[in-house]
Amino acid sequence: MHEVRHSRRRRAAAQAGAAAAREPERRPVAVRPRKVWRGAEQNRALRLLARSPHGCTEAIMLAHGFTAELLVDVVRDGLATAAPGIMCAGKRPITVTRLRITDIGRQALAGT
């Protein structure tokens, strides 16, 4: 019985080593600056954010007709930031995502 337990341990250790060998090596992803192409919708989103001193929630931006993909592009390009926040709906606190324009976004608006 002692031999059986020993072989099981060896088999489990060999399987763990094989699983580790199968996993791909994780390498850091190089972040490249994207070519900034601002369309009319991005400019409209930036103007809305510029008029709001505390930024706008994601829900308000979506209610204005902006797509989630456009909001992601604006944040990825560095023209706006997205930060989690808490608002009260009645007496219940809810978590929201608040978008704010950055200095780069203001410069981009001034250039258009």
Residue range 42-78, pLDDT digits in tens: 999 999 999 999 999 999 999 999 999 999 999 999 9
Phi–psi pair at 55, nearest 5 degrees: 80, -175
Query: In the predicted model, what is the mean pLDDT of residues 89-97?
Result: 94
The CATH number corresponding to 40-111 among 1.10.10.10, 1.10.287.3510, 3.30.300.20, 3.40.50.150 equals 1.10.10.10
Contact (Cβ atoms closer than 8 angstroms) between residue 71 and residue 28: no
The mean pLDDT of 75-98, rounded to a whole number, is: 94
From 5-14, 43-52, 53-62, 92-101, the region with the lowest mean pLDDT: 5-14
Taking all residues of the chain, what is their mean pLDDT, rounded to a whole number?
A: 81
pLDDT at 77: 92
pTM of the model: 0.64
CA dist., res. 40 & res. 54, Å (int) = 23
pLDDT grade for 39, boundaries at 50, 70 and 90: confident
Q: Which residue has the tokens 């791909």?
A: 24
Tokens found for residue 85: 């926040």
**The predicted structure's pLDDT at residue 32:** 47
How many Å apart are CA 112 and CA 110, to the nearest integer?
A: 6
